[in-house]
Amino acid sequence: MTNERPDYPLEPPLIGALLRRLWETVRERMLSGLHQAGFSDLVAAHLTVLQYPGPENRRPSDLAAETNMSKQAIDYLLGQMEELGYLAREHDANDPRSRRIRLTERGHAAARTMRDIVREVEREWAKEVGPTRFEQLRELLIEIQPAPRAD
C-alpha cells in the first residue's frame, strides 16, 4: 500500500468551494481596505457582525441565529466592538429585558467603507467577465437565495 495521494483536483470544484474562494477574496479585500482606511482594530471575526444587512436595531440573539453563532460568541464579538467604539447595546424601548444594537458613527463609517470596497471588487469582476455576464451572475445568486428564516 502506498501513501501517495492522487493529483487533485480530480474533478472541477463544486459550487460551495467556488463560492467560498470568492468569499475569502472579498473578506481579505474588506479587511485590508478597512485597515488602510483607519479601521485597523477590526479583525476578520468582526466582519461577521457588520455583514449585510448589518446589526443596526437588531437583537443580539437574532444576530446570533442569523450568523449561526452561539449567543455567547456573538456577545463576545459585540463586547469587543463596543469597546472599540463601533456599536452600543441599548435597552429595547418595547421590551426592557432585551437589548438592541446601535452602530456608532464609527460603526456606520466602517460599514460604508466595507460596501465601497465590495463595490470596487464587483467593478473589477464585471470588467473581467463583462458587465452583462456579471449582472446575470448577480441575478442568479439572488434567485437561488434561501427565504429568510421566520423565527
Paired with 88 in beta bridges are: 102
pLDDT in tens, 24-64: 999 999 999 999 999 999 999 999 999 988 999 999 999 99
What's the pLDDT score for residue 102? Answer: 97
Give the mean pLDDT of 95-108.
94
- pTM for this prediction: 0.84
- Please state, rounded to an integer, the average pLDDT across all residues of the chain: 92
Q: Could you give the CA distance from residue 49 to residue 26 in angstroms, rounded to a whole number?
A: 15
Q: Could you give the CA distance from residue 19 to residue 15 in angstroms, rounded to a whole number?
A: 6
String of b and e for 56-75 (b: at least 16 CB within 10 Å)?
Answer: eebbbebbbebeebeeeebb
Give all domains of the chain, ordered by start, each with its CATH number. 16-143 (1.10.10.10)
What's the pLDDT score for residue 70? Answer: 95
